[in-house]
């Protein structure tokens, strides 16, 4: 049918009358033919290859992951096997991406917990070096060029405390000390976490310009 044509890239007249092994990866076609004969001898409605990944071959030679259901159909012309084929390649990819995202988040949480423990009973002379190392680990895990710990003063000025920059990061712009980021100041005072994925998400045009001038891919 048309769905099969779309899934496999064949026109109808290229498939009608052909063996189903045409849609099976070459390395599996011989074994599949034997299984097909076995099903014909004891056919019943069931999923094919339950518990295993099934691959099908498209006209261009590429392979897709599929789910296949088999049913026996009896007609006046004899018995036929009806196969329903669903391409699950994208579904599997999304599931794998989801698992990877969960693991990435867990790894980040473990790293943050480890970093937090390093500040317990930390000698005063080790604070800056420990902050610098923490900034490095967080930045590298988030693929950031650089990150800086700022102090927010009562007059809303930013005072740079400790910074880290990757070895291939562009030269830093003039220090941002004294720049006024009112939205950051107010949200920090209210206890809210301030974060953004790109400078485009900053609400103040002056803030965007300052970060872009610094040549950063991202900011923390």
Return per-residue pLDDT of the chain as tens, 220 residues. Answer: 888 888 889 998 898 888 888 888 877 766 776 676 666 666 565 556 555 688 888 999 898 898 888 887 888 888 888 888 888 889 889 998 999 989 988 998 999 899 888 888 889 899 999 999 999 999 888 888 888 887 766 666 667 788 888 888 776 555 444 445 555 666 666 666 666 666 666 665 555 555 554 444 444 3
> Tokens 């970060």 — which residue?
211
Cβ–Cβ < 8 Å for 28, 39:
no
In angstroms, what CA-CA distances link 184 with 158, 159, 206? 10, 13, 13
Question: Of 183, 179, 188, which Cα lies nearest the Cα of 209?
Answer: 179
pTM of the predicted model as reported, rounded to 2 decimal places:
0.50
Question: Of 173, 184, 120, which Cα lies nearest the Cα of 150?
Answer: 184
């Amino acid at each position: 049918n048309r769905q099969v044509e779309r899934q496999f890239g064949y026109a109808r007249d290229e498939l009608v009358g052909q063996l189903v092994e045409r849609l099976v990866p070459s390395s599996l076609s011989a074994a599949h033919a034997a299984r097909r004969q076995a099903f014909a001898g004891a056919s019943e409605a069931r999923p094919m290859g339950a518990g295993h990944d099934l691959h099908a071959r498209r006209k261009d030679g590429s392979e897709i992951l599929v789910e296949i259901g088999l049913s026996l159909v009896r007609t006046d012309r004899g018995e036929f096997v009806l196969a329903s084929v669903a391409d699950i390649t994208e579904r599997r990819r999304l599931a794998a991406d989801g698992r990877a995202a969960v693991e990435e988040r867990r790894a980040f949480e473990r790293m943050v917990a480890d970093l937090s423990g390093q500040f317990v009973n930390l000698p005063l002379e080790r604070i800056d070096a420990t902050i610098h190392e923490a900034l490095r680990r967080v930045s590298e895990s988030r693929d950031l060029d650089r990150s800086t710990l700022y102090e927010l003063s009562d007059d809303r000025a930013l005072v740079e405390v400790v910074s880290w920059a990757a070895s291939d990061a562009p030269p830093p712009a003039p220090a941002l000390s004294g720049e006024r980021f009112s939205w950051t100041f107010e949200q920090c005072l209210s206890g809210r976490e301030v974060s953004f994925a790109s400078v485009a998400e900053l609400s103040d045009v002056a803030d965007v310009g300052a970060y872009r001038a610094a040549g950063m891919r991202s900011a923390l």
